Structure 1
Amino acid sequence: MARIFFALLILLTSVSCQTEAKKVPVDLLVVAKQIYLKAGETAQAMVIKDGKVWATGSQKELESAYKPQAVKVFEGMYIYPGFNDAHAHFLGYARSLGRVNLVATQSWQECLERLQNFAEKNPNDFLLGRGWDQNDWESKEFPDRKALDSLYPHTPVLLKRIDGHAAIANQAALDYAGINASTTVAGGTIDIVKGILIDNAVDLIEEPANDPERDKELILKAQEFCVHAGLTSITDAGLKKKDIQILQDLSESGELKLRLNVMVSDDSASLAYYFARGPIEEPRFRLKTVKFYLDGALGSRGALLLNSYADDPGNYGLQLKPTNYFLEMADSLSHQKWQMAIHAIGDSANRLATQIFGVGYLHNRNHRWRIEHAQVVHPKDLEDMKALGVIPSIQPTHATSDMYWAEERLGPEAIQYAYRAQSFLDQGLVLPLGTDFPVEDINPLNTFRAARFRVDANAYPQGGFRAEEALSFDEALKGMTWSGAYASFEEEVKGLLERGYYADFIVMDRDLKKLKADEFSNLEVKATAINGEFLYSL
């Protein structure tokens, strides 16, 4: 009897060893209450190998087929593809961490107080800041430079509006740039008395060079904030060569782990260099797009409108460069297979951008050219956008930030076709979503709330602002994951959690599909992984 038992034990052990030997070795098994793979498809577990999703299914199925080196179990939690911010200013955000923060100030006086506090702790030869918005102040008027001149008669001060399309400079900064009462600039305006610069005039004051080590410190700090927020991919919407090189070097060294899709600014030296070099298409660093500014912003009345501003009759906004320039660039880019992205906010600018894209469509039917913001789009232009396959890259939180004053600025007619989202999808267009940070907060959950419910952080207004443009859960999440990947030609490897896709994902303790508009205040990402590596975990 003992011999029979011993023989059976050997047989079972042999079978078990053979079964183990047949298991496919993988790096990681991840288990959660639910893993959102793509619209309509979920799983309980997934295995990861070489930084990519290898298989998905039930925990039992995967444990029987794979041999992981490590196992991570997120009991009762939900996993989603990592958030992809399709339009942001990552390097600008990083540098803003070392400058005076004027976001959410309620008056010009508060701006001055923050500036003084910053200057006392950070004595600099040139004071820089960003974030003020006169639309949030009681007066609603642009400030003037008198107080800045009094406080800092010998130190240049440049404080940019939240969108970067306007700035206030003191006399020392104006002198530094050689700006006086006779200075003019195409595509911009200068109020020399107040020190207010609009659009292209802002660029007349060249900021001092950044210290490389300080840049690196701030970039890595910004990366930390981004992964804590659940961001795994970011499109930086416009940089010059020297700044692109900073990010590329950090990416190649492995210190910058975020996946970056960088657009080249419309700068002659930068374009000459990259046109000669060609696009960069690495897993964590891509550069294939050129970014142009056609108009300004609504907040500073620089967006180019078909009808004049309701609160500033006779002002139609600004076209920042001649139409022929954009047409020539469109023709050149289409032949070189570069992607064109045009910043267009006003309805006139969006119409012109769409017409310009028609040139590219003649040479390259899969150009995937993008309109950044597409904030006010006349109904007559939707069909043309559809025919050309234009990608409207929008930022839902712009709608919920601007809604308090947008109708006063645009008028009752134009507001009815402003801040679109659902109507773009109705045309069959791909709709990537972003934040435009640091113009808005970096938190992508704010984007999700604004896209789904069209409300601000206080769940205002009840029912949502232009609620007919709200997106469904699947539409919003797709816009924050796969659609951004499509817009950067990465939809076959990024944005879903299926076999062969990058293992970029986030962990939440709430089911995003079941959240109501007023349930976002204490919501936070519990873990973020890029390439299967956890960069952040509570």
Structure 2
Amino acid sequence: MWSVDKVVTGGLIWTMNPAQPEAHWMALHQGRVVAVGTRDEEAPQARVVEDVSGQTVLPGFHDAHCHTMWFGLSLGEVDAKAHSNLDALYGALAERARQTPAGGWVLATGYNQEAFGGEYPDIRALDRVLPDHPLFMRHTSGHSCIVNTKALEASGISGAQLSEVDLAGGAIVLDEHGKPTGVLEERAQSVIQQLLLPKSMDDMVQALARASARYSQEGLTSFTETGIAGGWIGHSPREFAAYQLAKQQGVLAQRAQLMVVSDVFHDVEGHPNDPNVLSLDAGIRTGLGDDHLSIGPVKIFLDGSMLAWTGAVSEPFSAGPPDNYGYFQAEEEALRETMLRAAAAGWAVAAHAIGDRAVALALDTFEKALSRFGAPVVPHRIEHGGVVTDQQVVQAARLGVAIVTQPGFMPELGVQMRAAMGPHREGLIHRHRSLLDAGAMATGSSDRPVATGVPLEIIQSMVQRIDAEGVVVGEHERVSVEQALWSYTVGSAQATGSADFKGMLARGMLADYVVLAKDPLATAVEELSAISISGTVVGGQRVFGEHG
């Protein structure tokens, strides 16, 4: 009788493998699953037997779109979501200022005006509570920020200079008197962020450690970080090195695929017969790395946000200023050329596209890239797909392009999204069932820290799609619990090009799994988010809980 490192037995195992969906024991050896069986089959001998009696085992959850560094850093900042009114928020900012040397930055995150009666902080009030400290408070969408006068002064911007600032792809919002309100949209945030970046290696490693510990508690074993090394979403040109160091120090438990932002791409010379490409030095491209840490697609921002009404839509937003179609982050032809030249270098491309006009640009460009350069080693992707038409769903399925939507937004942001799109487009918001029905890739993802990143909360939202007012947002986009679990495991693996070694618990797959206290398929939908995590295991090694 052969012997393995570990046998997991005694509970119910949902493998997500269509050939053997249910099992009762699983044999692990050298970080891989080597056998799966039923009660009628004998398990091999093992050095360790893990008893999960009365519990349920699933493949580890895989967040296909999140901002791990941003989330980890935010855990050390003032959390605007923790406060119910502006006075309470002002008090929290003042308290943080008292703990910060004069002149030091006060950092906050997670502001959503809808949680404050539709109001933004008054810059005069911010100046009163923070007379000696510059403020940078990120909007929950990440597509705008709120600052005070000290921050604007630190950037060198004054009223007379506002018109001279290059804000292509962004805006400094002014009041009726032409004075700054403190709100900076999209790329305009960079005038402040450049004062706060780059983050130190120590700060970044500590942020990753905080985020990873939280992920482990929630059953996450893999994630895709959607934007590093530059632009308004990155934190340092050395960000990849911070991930390497965190992994080396043992504080990054999850498997991570990292997207490099297109802002840091440049011309890379080659032989005259080689294509004219945008890439990184040495010809580095998508696919470099191993099953713990790898480079994924290049991330390019085509448009903005649904919440800030800056996504590029084909019909005007139903909320906000009249006749507002949003806007692209650059000229369409420039965006198309960047995507094609990156694809020519062998990169998969992840295009941030909220509005259907941006989705159309992405899909049409992917069609050209695939015909000219063939398929990359991991799929091209559309990030968010906030509004996607039926025709675009079909086109994505035909091209093999993943649309990484976030149905998990509904409880926190669904009301705003319905207002932004209006009743006639409500069914097109962050689609899910339509993707599955069309044979397109559908994933589990959070966009954390924009909204909750807890997988079981998002899985419940995928099934219910209920917003804060109790309205079902796009009823025909609801999925079953099984489909939601499939999306958070197999679907995410497919979209990240890793389905040949993770996403299922089957022979040869990585031994990444989560142990749940209850069977989600036998739990009332409204109770899914309350299921506790008993253990999280990566490569056969425990990273959280009593199992592994």
The alignment's TM-score, normalised by the length of structure 1, stands at 0.90
Alignment-derived partner of residue 170 in structure 1: 148
1:92 counterpart = 2:70: yes
The answer to whether residue 306 in structure 2 is matched with residue 273 in structure 1 is no
Matched, 1:227 2:216: yes
Query: Judging changes above 3 Å, is the alpha-carbon distance between structure 1 residues 317 and 141 closer, same or farther for their aligned structure 2 residues?
Result: farther
CA distances 1:233-258 after superposition (whole Å, capped 9, x unpaired) = 01000000411210122224444221
Indicate the larger mover: 395-404 or 114-123: 114-123
Contact 1:105 1:133 in 2 (8 A): no
**Map of 2:190 onto structure 1:** 203
Equivalent position amino acid for 2:9 in 1: V
Deviations 1:413-461 (A, max 9, x none): 22232221111112210111201111112211111001122235x8x73
Q: CA deviation at 1:76?
A: 0.7
Give the match for residue 52 of structure 1. 32
- Read off the aligned partner of 1:233 and give its amino acid letter: S
Separation (CA, whole Å) in 2 of partners of 1:366 and 1:214: 37
Tell me, yes or no, if the aligned pair for 1:330 and 1:359 is still in contact at 8 Å.
Answer: no
Compute the displacement of 1:397 (Å): 1.4
1:452 aligns with 2:439: no
Give, in whole Å, the separation in 2 of the partners of 1:339 and 1:290: 6
Aligned CA distance change for structure 1 residues 373 and 249 (closer, same or farther; 3 Å) = same
- Displacement after TM superposition at 1:216 (Å): 2.3
Q: Which amino acid in 2 is paired with 1:203?
A: S
The partner residue of 2:491 within 483, 500, 510 is 483
Q: What is the CA–CA distance in structure 1 between the aligned matches of 2:100 and 2:516, rounded to whole Å?
A: 38
Please tell me whether residue 493 in structure 1 is matched to residue 489 in structure 2: no
Find 2:389's aligned residue among 370, 378, 385.
Answer: 378
Correspondence for 1:322: 331
Q: Cα offset for 1:309?
A: 1.7
Q: What SS is found at the alignment partner of 2:533?
A: coil
Which position in structure 2 is the counterpart of 1:188?
Answer: 170
Query: For residue 104 of structure 2, what is the aligned residue in structure 1?
Result: 125
Moved segments of 4+, more than 4 Å: 269-272
In structure 2, distance between residues paired with 1:135 and 1:282? 42
Name which of 472, 478, 481 aligns with 2:480: 472
Provide the rounded CA distance (Å) in 1 between the counterparts of 2:95 and 2:49.
48
Given that 1:104 and 1:132 are in contact with CA atoms closer than 8 Å, whether structure 2 keeps it comes out as no
Report the 3-state secondary structure (helix = DSSP H, G, I; strand = E; otherwise coil) of the residue aligned with 1:236.
Answer: strand
> Given residue 330 of structure 1, which amino acid in structure 2 is its aligned partner?
M
Structure-2 residue corresponding to 1:4: none
Q: Give the CA deviation at 1:274.
A: 5.3
Q: Mapping of 1:54-453 within 5 angstroms? A: 54-58=34-38, 61-63=41-43, 66-123=44-101, 125-138=104-117, 140-180=118-158, 181-182=162-163, 183-192=165-174, 193-205=180-192, 206=194, 207-240=196-229, 241-268=237-264, 272-273=279-280, 276-279=283-286, 280-311=288-319, 312-367=321-376, 368-453=379-464
Deviates more, 1:214-223 or 1:199-208: 214-223
* 1:451–1:179 Cα change, 3 Å: same
Cα deviation, residue 364, structure 1: 4.1
- AA in 1 matched with 2:216: V
CA distance in 1, matches of 2:325, 2:119: 18
Q: Does the aligned pair in 1 maintain the 2:216–2:253 contact within 8 Å?
A: no
CA change 1:364–1:515 in 2 (3 A) is farther
TM-score of the aligned structures, taking structure 2 as reference length: 0.88
Deviates most, 331-340 or 220-229: 331-340
Larger radius of gyration: 1
**SS of 1:318's equivalent?**
coil
What letter matches 2:138 in structure 1?
A: K
Contact 2:307 2:416 in 1 (8 A): no
Shift of 1:380: 3.4
- Inter-CA distance 104–470: structure 2 relative to 1 (3 Å threshold): farther
- The question of whether the paired residues in 1 share the 8 Å contact of 2:17 and 2:504 is answered with no
2:512 to 504, 507, 510: 504
The gaps in structure 2 that reach 5 residues or longer are 175-179, 230-236, 267-277
Letter of the structure 1 residue corresponding to residue 325 of structure 2? Y
Distance 1:33 1:274, change over 3 A: farther
Greater Cα offset, 226-235 or 294-303: 294-303
Contact 1:449 1:455 (8 Å CA) reproduced: no
Cα shift at 1:60: 6.5
Q: 2: CA distance between counterparts of 1:103 and 1:357?
A: 37
- 1:527 has 2:535 as partner: yes
Q: Secondary structure at the match of 2:451?
A: coil
Give the Å deviation of 1:489: 1.2
* Structure 1 position 62, deviation (Å): 3.7
Q: Deviations over 1:497-529 (max 9, x none)?
A: 001000000001111112223213532211000
In the aligned structure 2, how far is the partner of 1:230 from the partner of 1:481?
Answer: 11
1:275–1:145 distance in 2 versus 1, CA, 3 Å: farther
**Distance change in 2, residues 1:268/1:221 (3 Å):** closer
Cα offset, 1:171, TM superposition: 1.2
